[in-house]
Amino acid sequence: MSRHSLIFAVILAVMANPETQAAESGSKNSIEASSKIRATADLQSDELQLARQWGLQEDELHRYRALMHGPLGTYSPNLDPLSALGIEAQSEAERQRYAELQVEAEAARVEKLLAYQRAYDHAWKARYPGMALINLPPMSSPLIKTTERVAVFVQYDCPNCDHQVKQLNIAGKSFDLYVVGSRNDDKRIRDWAQKVGIRSIKIRDGTITLNHDNGRWLSTGAQGELPAVMREVNGTWLRQ
């Protein structure tokens, strides 16, 4: 028998050996099982990390997932875990706990947003010192270019300002709020927003934005006392 024929015969024998096939099959199954275990472990680790980010336990996050697969998720598909669990709280103590967690989360989020806004303003002034900056949505009409969203300028110790914002808020209007004289104090601006009845959920979903003025009121070129509701029409800021 030639050398090649001998090698071929040995290969056939090995392939025909049930023990060899069983070993190969067992090895393949072991690899698949290990992959599944790793995937499950990674998923559990991601869920645990997400739960910790919201200040929740794993079982609370699982309940949130279940709630979002039910009617709540159908009516409000973009609810965050704290809002969903708070709405569907099973006791007053539970509802209060989620409310406190959400207040802390919102405070941290607003502080980050305002810090970035200040950094953005500084970068803009450094890059374009002669250009006015108003951060509103882009103009939409091809003929009369106007923003649908308004900018509302207010200041502290101004009852008319408080009344104007309350009326816009009650009417369900979307607007960008600029507080003149906020001293770049994040807590000061949050306390004022709470006083006039702006709910955190409206800030969270972008219906209302809270901003330090940082010279924006002067940049519009408008005159008169505050409050001022401004809309941009064809590149010019008009008082409403």
Contact 197, 163 (CB under 8 A): no
Q: How far apart (Å, rounded) are the C-alpha atoms in residues 207 and 219? A: 24
CATH of region 132-239, choose from 2.160.20, 3.40.30, 1.10.10, 3.30.750: 3.40.30
Cross-strand pairs, 239: 230
Cβ atoms within 10 A of the Cβ of 127, count? 8
20: Cα separation from own chain's centroid = 56
Rounded Cα gap, residues 234 and 56, in angstroms = 49
* Assigned token pair, 24: 């190969």
Asked whether the whole model's pTM tops 0.85, one would answer no
Name the residue among 107, 111, 101, 75 with its Cα closest to residue 194: 107
Tens of pLDDT, residue by residue over 20-38, are 555 555 556 666 655 556 5
pLDDT per residue rounded down to tens, the chain (240 residues): 555 555 555 455 545 555 555 555 555 666 665 555 655 555 566 778 888 888 888 888 899 999 989 988 887 777 888 888 998 999 999 999 998 888 888 778 777 777 777 787 788 778 877 655 544 343 333 433 445 678 899 988 888 888 888 888 888 888 888 888 877 788 888 888 888 888 888 888 888 888 888 778 877 777 778 888 888 776 667 787
Domain boundaries, the chain: 132-239
**Two structure tokens written together for 186:** 């994040």
pLDDT in tens, 193-217: 888 888 888 888 888 888 888 778 8
Beta carbons within 8 Å of 215's beta carbon, 6+ residues apart: none
Whether the CB-CB separation of 182 and 161 falls below 8 Å is answered with no
- Sign of torsion over alpha carbons 15, 18, 20, 22: positive
The pLDDT, as a whole number, for residue 157 is: 82
